[in-house]
Structure 1
């Protein structure tokens, strides 16, 4: 299976302008940009034919090329990373069996998340798109709940059926639970990991569909597939002792830096 990883990155984020170029300090104290850390995470994935950064901004292009990334320039009119990935795949001439969207705000994504994701899509011929989900421990769940209490839009949660077909994704914490969990307890909540694996035909069709009401309300690009009757496979992945969090808000920077220090990531 020929796999292309695209890292979509835009400068003009509504919630966090310039986010891809924000510096994050690792265990040694060295600061690297968010986009570089995401690119480095992609380099650790096995079985990948090509990794590119897709952007519409020369500042991101120059920074990415400076640390050795291949860059594809895309339209500034795209609303989300899936649309940007679709253009990047077309610009590169297609020909890949699977296109992976590794969003540029998830530098702590371990390689096995993506490897398991690609394998999950390969083994589920009925699925047109797959995305990882990670069962929350109590600390992660409390972090999601704290964001919502503070009025911050943080991580996304997912619910799915017995065949792991997605039922819904939300920036609210779903499903609701009134239980109290100890620090190491598993919870019924699954954190959606912002990575996607697409079959090329589904990816190419995506930009031709209108934005639906659920996508518009939640601001979640994967809901467009569901609103158009397409199957989204949720692939459960294991943390294996690794922390996972995405950079959604400026308040996440010290949290990610602390996690990198704890995991010895430079």
Structure 2
């Protein structure tokens, strides 16, 4: 299967338009049509309806395979380039917001550093495809258990830190004075769904058996202090690493989660063999 044809198919399916895909990819519309026809001939199945432009059942199934296939190809290209290239002078660190807030390394080189704040699920892919030299990812885990990361490429992971988890509440909330909270007592509370900032609600549900924890509001940003402002205004609760919640300040209160016993875990991820600033950073993180 030609990856160029597959990329064209993904673009047409995403944009629901042959002409829009042609503009995005820099092809003529006839070239895009030829790509799709060649791919359909190769696979022996119609992949798209034409009016309207939409994936067929076979096309939907191919789309399920396309993203990981193309990602692995990009990762392979980046891995080979990483080995062949001269050692870089700078360093790019990709990190999810709460990983960065919980563990800002004091040993970062003083010059030549770029920090990219990304959604958790995007950090491993950025490292695998060469968009970052080192990544910091985080999530809920049982003590000493590794995080479950997407299988995007052969990556090395190392534990950076584990710490308790806290429930971020408005300072005026009736539960704000407690010494600790059980997750089971918060199943029906109002929650803020902030997948790229707080610990994700699907992980919270999984920790409590997969039920409840419905979102009253969704926040799609990456600024933790904006999330804290929404909590302070009474829009819902959020689960954060203890050290992050404790720094949110006026208007909020963080109470330790005592049951179930889960931790906020941070791991660093990298590809290949690091040297220079990357090697120094990973050593400092460990």
* TM more than 0.5: no
When normalised by structure 2's length, the TM-score is 0.23
Larger Cα Rg: Structure 1 or Structure 2? 2
Q: Give TM-score scaled by structure 1 length.
A: 0.25
More helix by share: 2
